Structure 1
Amino acid sequence: MPNRFDDLQREQQHVLHQIHVRERLIRYSIALFVPVFGVVAVLAIYADDRDASTLRVVIVSVTALSTIPMAVLMSRVDLGPVWWSKQAAIPGINTAFLAYADIGVTVILITFVDPSAALHGSALFAIIGCYAAHFVTHRIRIVHMVFTSIVVCVLGLQMWLMNDDLGGACYRVAVSLLAINGTVFLLSIYTDDFQHALRTQLKLANTDSLTGLFNRRGFEYWAGSLVVPATRNFGVVVADIDNYKLLNDQFGHDVGDQILRRIAESLRGVTGDYAVLARVGGDEFAFATDLDRDALVAVAERMRMGCSSYWHGRPVTISVGVASCDLHGPGSTTRAAAKEVLDSAITAADDALYLAKQAGRNHVRVVDVDAAGNPA
């Protein structure tokens, strides 16, 4: 498959357009948890037996109040792309949020007079770890785990020094580390394996098993994605094996499949990485590209000549229809508009293929259209 279109952004769009995730529910739930942490921070003022100092009240109050604007900000972050690619529309916001949460909880914990109570509060890191497991990269997860582990160990050391209770300190530290790091570790395994399985299933759903090319579904999606960033030119080429039914009937389906695979390899060698190539029907292939008209026709001719061969003395050739579309401007900006352009180009390419068949097969014919599908 063309590597050019296998970039992270289009892959995540491909995934998110084909699966239904309750992204808003997840987003608003996370946003709701942020001020809840602020409420817990306020309650922490009264967690110790001693009266809270003015400095502690100020630190905790400022930290708690900061959760309100952070909650509003997180309610606006689309978590679908972040979950799939670990990248947000606001660069680094997912990592910044994790750092904010880790540092905020740490600030609250170090204000505790009783380190054993602080160790109990370190359980909040486990909730933050849920976010880390799903929405940041492996490297950032490790940083989170190392940072929170250091905080827990320091609190345990303080507990031991203050209470001279090594066994109790070790027990609390061990439980906290297990809960915090275990949450991140197990959820990370789950989300990574789930994404791998999903990526594999979507690849199978959009790939022709015989040739390894895109199928019609994959072609329509990726070719439509190509329309969006196109500046002026967009073209679709449709190729059909001449007299394929006769070849299939004479030599059998196994030979017919071998011919299809051979044609697919020939087309892949000609189109390279600058086109979306697919098997869209029984013996019909298509590719889409942003080449201009002259380059598009030249590629179509190379396709025709490259696929010409003989099988047990019988010629194997293809007929090719080309639709060259001039978009006149910045191109489509929506999926719906891109689909209209693609549908128009496919229809025009089919018309051109019919003309190539009428001309006696083993020919290339071109139809020029505008973005609305009208003859140019």
Structure 2
Amino acid sequence: MLKRYRYAAGATDFEVAQVSKLQRQIAPLYSLLSLSAASLAFTHRHVAPTVLTLILPALLITACIVRTVRWMMMPTDRQVTPAEARGLLRRTLIMAGILAVLFVSWAIALDHYGGPYEQGHVAMFVAVTVLGCVFCLGYHPHAAALVCAIVIGTFLAYCLSKGSEVISAIAINIALVTGVILKVLRDSFAGFLSLELSQQALEQKRAEAQELSEENALLAQTDPLTALPNRRYFFAELDRLLADGAQSFTVALLDLDGFKPVNDTYGHAQGDQLLQIISQRLRHVGAGEMVVARLGGDEFGVLMRLDARDAMARGQMFCDIVKEPVPLPEATVVVGCSLGLASYPDAGQTAQDLFDRADFALYHAKAQRRGACVVFSSELEELIRSEQAIDSAFQAADLDGELSVVFQPIFATRELELVAVEALARWESPQIGTVSPEQLIAAAERVGMARRTTLTLFDKALVGAARLPQNVRLTFNLSALDIADEVTVTCLLERLAASGVAPRRIVFELTENSLITDIGTARLSLERLRNTGAQLALDDFGTGFSSLSTLHELPFDILKIDRSFAARLNDQTGRRLVSAIRGLAQTLSLQCVLEGIETEQQLVEATLAGFDYAQGYYLARPGKIEDVIESLGKHKRAA
């Protein structure tokens, strides 16, 4: 009758479920045994000895009560471990065998006393009690089979030995019924086993799916290159801080200074490694309650549970650690960073306001205090409002009527002959008055009107150029957005062709910072412009944005030296530096223009340094085209 069930390999959780089910059947099992034993002892109290009707039943019933209490005292606040479950099942099997031997031995001993009724009660006790116990042990089929084998086997052998046909038939009938019940029990337990294993497999799949989901969620919130939290996680944490009602915290935005040249010079692989090293440093400084995230490119975000003053000190630590040399496989490089801070609730009370104000503080830091921390303040708030007013006025502006250009002459240093004029943008708004060229271009880019602004100014510059002698060139400034926009470049070429001005008279100027945004796009745009016969000039050279490789990679004809170098012509070191730059331009076969000449001495020093062309207030201030034409006439009459 004993059947060895084969559990799935490693199905230890099934044994835990088996114990959990069995625990609910133990109380009915021992209650049945105790009541049946008490009933059998009661009916034999007058015919059997006291030891069989009182002492032995009392001991057996006490054992049942003890076992019931032991099972009921099992902790319900935690699940038993697989090892504990196996131990319980093993002890239950042993106790089932011991109790089966004791109870059947006691019943057979009582069968020797009394008449047919008492003996019939013994048979009934064996049959009903063992079958009840089998059902109660349904979740432990080994124990059920063992009980049946001991009780029914012993009772059947005893009945057959008595030689009574009736008693033997009863015993055989009980054995057959028990066998059928064990078969049903086995099938039922097999179904339970299959169901439980299926549920465990399903739970395992669910757990794996949950784990995979959590991993995907983590990946969705992690930057794959640096392993820092990404932009999505950063904003989620910012929203959580606001929702939790934090008293004070600071949003910091950090942008690397000088990363683009490293990326362009040494390649993207080296640039990626640089970002990884910088990220490790930022993570180290931000360890604790801070959230350091990579927002994209070389921009990082930090959430600090600090007020503005403490955040400023910690922000300076970020700047200092970023400035430390970074060893890369091909070279050791040094980059810096600028930081913008916005504190809650002073700078803003929504996530978008805090981020925008931190971004504006970062923009101000990179423009005015590169490499430093800037906290958003009331002064910056006024500047924002000023920009908003400019943007609003620009969107409503009549560009043809409000925009104009003035022209600043460029002279040959030795003959002081006019060789070119630079077209400079002007905006006179009827709403807010005169707006500087820098604010004009920035506003045009912010409101998405950069192309229209550039083309309007170019049209006006071409009109002025048409009135100048054929030997006087026109230089026109382009922004980073202009050279990155193929449509803008196409429109410039179309307007130039329609104007009647010879392309050889046009010089397109580009500042260094406009070039470093995208060397590849800049090269294509510059080649299109130069192929018409126009010349190209690199403006404000020496301000620290470009490298020597830029001059080799891009097809420039003219190098315009930043005005800051003209002021250094008064000292020997400055003169040597300016001469070196002039020598560099000569080596690269570039014409060289020195900007910012404001004194006669500077003009003399520039001429002695070998500069053929100069520009500045000492020579001529920007003016209308009529002023340029008039000065040309005076020069001819003087000659």
TM-score norm. by structure 1 comes to 0.52
| Counterpart pick for 2:296 among 278, 281, 287 | 281
Q: Give the Cα separation in 1 of the matches to 2:306 and 2:242.
A: 12
SS in 2 for 1:273: coil
Q: Give the Cα separation in 1 of the matches to 2:287 and 2:199.
A: 42
Cα distance, 1:154 vs. partner? 6.3
Superposed counterparts of 1:252-331, under 5 Å:
252-310=267-325, 312=331, 315-326=334-345
Q: Give the Cα separation in 1 of the matches to 2:254 and 2:196.
A: 55
Partner of 2:194: 179
Partner of 1:228: 243
Larger RCO: 1 or 2 (CA < 8 Å, sep 6+):
1
Cα distance, 1:153 vs. partner? 2.1
Q: Give the Cα separation in 1 of the matches to 2:285 and 2:137.
A: 59
Range 214-223 or range 265-274, more displaced: 214-223
Q: Is the contact made by 2:138 and 2:189 (CA closer than 8 Å) also made in structure 1?
A: no
Aligned residue pairs, count: 232
Cα distance, 1:213 vs. partner? 0.6
Range 340-349 or range 232-241, more displaced: 340-349
Cα distance, 1:231 vs. partner? 2.9
Partner of 2:139: 153
Q: Give the Cα separation in 2 of the matches to 1:366 and 1:290.
A: 15
Q: Give the Cα separation in 1 of the matches to 2:195 and 2:276.
A: 52
CA change 1:324–1:289 in 2 (3 A) is same
Q: Is 1:164 equivalent to 2:178 in the alignment?
A: yes
Q: Is the contact made by 1:216 and 1:281 (CA closer than 8 Å) also made in structure 2?
A: yes
SS in 1 for 2:296: coil
Q: Is 1:353 equivalent to 2:353 in the alignment?
A: no
Q: Is the contact made by 1:239 and 1:318 (CA closer than 8 Å) also made in structure 2?
A: yes
Q: Is the contact made by 2:283 and 2:292 (CA closer than 8 Å) also made in structure 1?
A: yes
Q: Is the contact made by 1:230 and 1:290 (CA closer than 8 Å) also made in structure 2?
A: no
Cα distance, 1:292 vs. partner? 2.2
Q: Give the Cα separation in 2 of the matches to 1:138 and 1:249.
A: 61
Cα distance, 1:352 vs. partner? 0.7
Q: Give the Cα separation in 1 of the matches to 2:219 and 2:277.
A: 21
Write the letter of the residue equivalent to 1:309. E
Cα distance, 1:219 vs. partner? 1.6
Q: Give the Cα separation in 1 of the matches to 2:301 and 2:210.
A: 29
Cα distance, 1:263 vs. partner? 1.2
Q: Is the contact made by 1:234 and 1:327 (CA closer than 8 Å) also made in structure 2?
A: no
| Counterpart pick for 1:343 among 340, 352, 355 | 352
Once the two structures are superposed, residues 6-48 of structure 1 have per-residue CA deviations (whole angstroms, 9 ceiling, x without a partner) of: xxxxxxxxxxxxxxxxxxxxxxxxxxxxxxxxxxxxxxxxxxx
Partner of 1:56: none
Q: Is 1:366 equivalent to 2:381 in the alignment?
A: no
Partner of 2:207: 192
Q: Give the Cα separation in 2 of the matches to 1:299 and 1:363.
A: 12
Write the letter of the residue equivalent to 2:336. T
Q: Is the contact made by 1:240 and 1:319 (CA closer than 8 Å) also made in structure 2?
A: yes
Q: Give the Cα separation in 1 of the matches to 2:198 and 2:333.
A: 64
Q: Give the Cα separation in 2 of the matches to 1:294 and 1:152.
A: 72
Q: Which has the larger radius of gyration?
A: 2
CA change 1:139–1:208 in 2 (3 A) is farther
Q: Give the Cα separation in 1 of the matches to 2:81 and 2:236.
A: 33
Once the two structures are superposed, residues 39-94 of structure 1 have per-residue CA deviations (whole angstroms, 9 ceiling, x without a partner) of: xxxxxxxxxxxxxxxxxxxxxxxxxxxxxxxxxxxxxxxxxxxxxxxxxxxxxxxx
Once the two structures are superposed, residues 164-189 of structure 1 have per-residue CA deviations (whole angstroms, 9 ceiling, x without a partner) of: 12641442343243134213311121
Partner of 1:31: none
SS in 2 for 1:153: coil
Q: Give the Cα separation in 2 of the matches to 1:302 and 1:256.
A: 22
CA change 1:151–1:184 in 2 (3 A) is farther
| Counterpart pick for 2:232 among 206, 217, 227 | 217
Superposed counterparts of 1:30-69, under 5 Å:
none
Q: Is the contact made by 1:239 and 1:321 (CA closer than 8 Å) also made in structure 2?
A: yes
Write the letter of the residue equivalent to 1:318. C
Which structure 2 segments of 5+ residues have no match?
1-19, 30-76, 89-134, 153-173, 379-383, 385-639
SS in 2 for 1:177: helix
Percent of pairs identical after alignment?
25
Cα distance, 1:151 vs. partner? 6.8
Write the letter of the residue equivalent to 2:373. V
Cα distance, 1:204 vs. partner? 1.4
CA change 1:182–1:289 in 2 (3 A) is same
SS in 1 for 2:226: coil
Q: Give the Cα separation in 2 of the matches to 1:360 and 1:249.
A: 24
CA change 1:185–1:140 in 2 (3 A) is farther
Cα distance, 1:241 vs. partner? 0.4
Q: Is the contact made by 1:206 and 1:218 (CA closer than 8 Å) also made in structure 2?
A: yes
SS in 2 for 1:272: coil
Cα distance, 1:203 vs. partner? 1.5
Cα distance, 1:281 vs. partner? 1.3
Once the two structures are superposed, residues 233-283 of structure 1 have per-residue CA deviations (whole angstroms, 9 ceiling, x without a partner) of: 121110000132222112221221121111111110101031221110111
Q: Is the contact made by 1:153 and 1:173 (CA closer than 8 Å) also made in structure 2?
A: no
Write the letter of the residue equivalent to 1:198. S
Cα distance, 1:224 vs. partner? 2.0
Superposed counterparts of 1:132-147, under 5 Å:
139=79
Partner of 1:38: none
CA change 1:347–1:140 in 2 (3 A) is farther
Q: Give the Cα separation in 1 of the matches to 2:283 and 2:231.
A: 16
Q: Give the Cα separation in 2 of the matches to 1:268 and 1:287.
A: 10
CA change 1:151–1:297 in 2 (3 A) is farther
Write the letter of the residue equivalent to 1:292. D
Q: Give the Cα separation in 2 of the matches to 1:150 and 1:300.
A: 71
